[in-house]
Amino acid sequence: MSSKAPEQKRKFRFLPEGTSLHKLSAVATLLVLIFAFSFTSPAFFTVNNGLTVLLQTSVIGLLAIGMTMVIITGGIDLSVGSILALAGVIAGLTIKIGLPVAPAMALGVFTGAACGFVNGMVIAKMRITPFVATLGMMLIARGIALQLTGAAPISRLGEAFGVLGNGALFRIVEMQDNGFPKVIFPGIPYPAILLLVMAVLGWYLLQKRQFGRHIFSVGSNEEAARLSGVNVDRTKIWAYTTSGALAGIAGMVLMSRLVTVQPNEGVMYELDAIAASVIGGASLMGGVGSISGSMIGAFIIGVLRNGLNMAGTSAFIQMIIIGIVVIGAVYIDQIRNKN
């Protein structure tokens, strides 16, 4: 039993050793980006812009948590951008017919979960590949969102609707003598807090619960998982439902920040979420991935977008750059798998 001690010291190591190396290089990339952008635009490295990045990243980050779970099962979820919009539309419409904000938002999140559940059922029971199933849901959810609203935004949703996206904890504002408010401490934005809470929950689910272990088992070797008594279908259905619910939450945050429901919001957000997960070390082959990695990935995407904006890069050039980053990240993933 003498050799037992060193083994137990190396904890939480059922993921490949490359994972920590990968995370380290992702953090380094993030720092390099921040450093570079601080030079190109002086307004980048400021508290206010930091908060903006945090806000922008919270949406990608929320999507990336669910996406990571789905990717670890060996699947993919292309529908989160559309689900986000549909969830927002449901919340907006129910507020318009008189529902208070909180239950309306809960209904929005539930809508997201329901869409994810349908994804899971189609994939597990109808045996449609995740790519096709969620591509279908991408069109269906977007179609419903546009149909319900006639493609028009829903505005005048009231101040309470904007709290989640624009409010902050510990915000300190002082009235000045000249009658203008002065922000002493901008506070911690609610979306950032929400992201943190969800990330910790996601980490707990993946690393500490049977559900998470089954997600890894299914993605690593589906047949082995089935033979070992893992309920493969149920695991997949719950993974997609979680992803859908998180897309719903992301939708609430985004629409609340705009204080308007835009049925055509969130187009191609799934690609940002997938990129965040893959940059963070998740493998599209399944069986590998982590929430912490995906959060770093989300911040890399968020900083990249924000920095390019600040530097005055056009939206078209941004698309090109993000496209290259996604291909690069998947390429690295492949090289990693070969070793």
Partner 1 sequence: MLDSVQISQPLVEMDNIVKTFGGIHAVEGVSTDLYSGEVVGVLGHNGAGKSCLMRILSGAMRANSGEIRVNGQTVDMKSPQDAREFGIETIYQTLALANHLDAPANLFMGRELKTRFGNLDDKRMLSEATEAIRQLNPNFKNLRDPVARLSGGQRQVIAIARAIYFQAKILIMDEPTAALGPSETAMVADLIVRLKNEGIGIYLISHDMHDVFELCDRVMVMNKGRNVGAFRIEDVNKDDVLSLIIKGTLPDSWEPRGGAE
- Contact of 291 with 206, CB cutoff 8 Å: yes
Instruction: Name which of residues 178 to 207 contact partner 1 (CB under 8 A).
Output: 207
Exposed, middle or buried, 192 (CB in 10 Å: 0-12/13-18/19+)? buried
CA distance 11 to 178: 58
3-class DSSP assignment, residue 290: coil
Show the binding pattern over residues 280-319: x = contacts partner 1 (CB under 8 A), - = does not.
Answer: -------xx-------------------------------
List the one residue from 2, 4, 127, 176 that touches partner 1 (CB under 8 A). Answer: 4
List the one residue from 190, 216, 238, 240 that touches partner 1 (CB under 8 A). Answer: 216
Query: How many residues bind partner 1, per CB under 8 A?
Result: 31
Residue 52 or residue 207: which is nearer to partner 1 going by CB? 207
List the one residue from 40, 210, 314, 334 that touches partner 1 (CB under 8 A). Answer: 210
Residue 27 or residue 213: which is nearer to partner 1 going by CB? 213
CB of 292 to partner 1, least distance (A): 17
Nearest to 137 by CA among 71, 83, 88: 83
Does residue number 208 form part of the binding site for partner 1 (CB under 8 A)?
A: yes
Partners of 183 in the beta sheet? 173
Does residue number 136 form part of the binding site for partner 1 (CB under 8 A)?
A: no
Question: Helices 101-124 and 80-96, interaxial angle, to 10°?
Answer: 150
List the one residue from 225, 246, 254, 300 that touches partner 1 (CB under 8 A). Answer: 225
Residue 74 or residue 297: which is nearer to partner 1 going by CB? 74
Does residue number 3 form part of the binding site for partner 1 (CB under 8 A)?
A: yes
Instruction: Name which of residues 46 to 75 contact partner 1 (CB under 8 A).
Output: none
CB of 288 to partner 1, least distance (A): 6
Residue 181 or residue 229: which is nearer to partner 1 going by CB? 229
6 half-sphere exposure, CB direction, 13 A CA radius: 2
- Contact of 267 with 169, CB cutoff 8 Å: no
List the one residue from 40, 228, 314, 334 that touches partner 1 (CB under 8 A). Answer: 228
CB of 229 to partner 1, least distance (A): 3
Quote the tokens at residue 278: 């893959």
Does residue number 227 form part of the binding site for partner 1 (CB under 8 A)?
A: yes
DSSP string covering 64-110, please?
Answer: HHHHHHHHHTT---TTHHHHHHHHHHHHHHHHHTT--HHHHHHHHHH
Query: Percent helix, strand and coil across the chain, each rounded to 5?
Result: 70, 5, 25
Handedness of CA 26, 31, 37, 40 (dihedral sign): negative
Instruction: Name which of residues 230 to 289 contact partner 1 (CB under 8 A).
Output: 230, 287-288
CB of 230 to partner 1, least distance (A): 4
Q: What angle do CA 110, 112, 118 make, to 5 degrees?
A: 105
CB of 238 to partner 1, least distance (A): 15
CB of 130 to partner 1, least distance (A): 19
List the one residue from 2, 5, 7, 175 that touches partner 1 (CB under 8 A). Answer: 7
List the one residue from 5, 14, 180, 316 that touches partner 1 (CB under 8 A). Answer: 14
CA distance 59 to 266: 10
CA distance 147 to 312: 35
Residue 107 or residue 215: which is nearer to partner 1 going by CB? 215
Handedness of CA 332, 333, 337, 339 (dihedral sign): positive
Binding residues for partner 1 (CB under 8 A):
3-4, 7-8, 10, 13-16, 207-210, 212-214, 216-217, 219-221, 223-230, 287-288
